[in-house]
């Protein structure tokens, strides 16, 4: 968990120059409604996810993990300058986990390719330390996770032609999930805002293995 706290700190450390950029773009007669008012909004953006899958492996394989790019959509309502409620959908298509056990006389190689969809209801709470060009906030929420998994199993080491020596197995599962993190909204104008977030996601029950952190950036449009 310490590395994810460090990730949050590093991500937020990049926000000071972003706030200066938003201040440079802001119109002289920029209204306060998008920063303090109540309104519905829609948003979209991209993200980069850092795999931290919780794999319960009886074979003690030495795993290598690959991160993935993804996207998100959001629809929300801002009640006031301190609180917003939001539904968001996260699409992460290409997590990969691979492992090899060379200590065996006949090594077994496993490769897992997973796509993950997250459907989340979240609250975004601002401490009120905002300015005319930026607003920090905390993120907490829960929802549903869906995972589709393709598993390759082979009785040979990774450096052998595994395509001819093993088999693919497909499975899917779903279950509850939670999200927590930090973010900041930048206000470069009165037609949209820029959101930068760093969050950690984890599943429960049948999707307990699905755990990852992310950094995202996107645009939000008031309605």
- For residue 166, what pLDDT is reported? 65
Name the pTM for this structure. 0.76
pLDDT of 95 reads 85
pLDDT of residue 107: 54
pLDDT in the model for residue 22: 46
The predicted structure's pLDDT at residue 100:
66
In angstroms, the Cα distances linking 176 to 141, 143, 204 are 11, 6, 5
Supply the mean pLDDT for the chain.
78
Cβ atoms within 10 A of the Cβ of 223, count? 8
In the chain, pLDDT over 70 holds for what percent of residues? 69
- For residue 43, the model assigns a pLDDT of 95
- The pLDDT assigned to 137 comes to 94
pLDDT tens over the chain, length 223 residues = 445 455 555 555 544 454 444 445 444 444 567 777 788 999 999 999 998 887 666 555 556 678 899 999 999 999 988 999 999 999 999 888 777 655 554 556 777 788 899 999 999 999 877 777 888 999 999 999 998 878 777 665 555 544 446 667 787 889 999 999 999 998 887 788 899 999 999 999 888 888 899 999 999 998 8
């Amino acid at each position: 968990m310490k590395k994810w706290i460090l990730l949050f700190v590093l991500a937020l450390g990049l926000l000071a120059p972003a706030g200066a950029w938003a201040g440079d773009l802001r119109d002289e007669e920029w209204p306060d409604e998008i920063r303090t008012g109540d309104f519905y909004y829609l948003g979209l953006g991209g993200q980069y996810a850092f795999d931290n899958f919780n794999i319960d492996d009886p074979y003690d394989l030495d795993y290598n993990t690959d991160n993935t790019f993804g996207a998100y959509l959001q629809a929300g309502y801002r009640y006031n300058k301190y609180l917003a409620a939001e539904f968001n959908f996260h699409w992460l298509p290409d997590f990969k986990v691979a492992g090899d056990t060379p200590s065996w006389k006949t090594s077994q190689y496993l490769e897992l390719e997973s796509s993950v969809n997250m459907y989340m209801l979240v609250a975004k709470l601002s401490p009120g330390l905002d300015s005319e060009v930026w607003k920090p906030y905390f993120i907490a929420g829960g929802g549903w996770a869906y995972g589709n998994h393709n598993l390759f199993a082979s009785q040979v080491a990774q450096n052998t032609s595994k395509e001819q020596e093993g088999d693919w197995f497909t499975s899917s599962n779903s279950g509850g999930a939670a999200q927590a993190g930090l973010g900041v909204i930048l206000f470069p104008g009165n037609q949209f805002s820029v959101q930068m977030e760093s969050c950690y996601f984890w599943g429960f029950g049948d999707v307990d293995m699905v755990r990852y952190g992310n950094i995202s950036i996107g645009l939000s449009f008031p309605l």
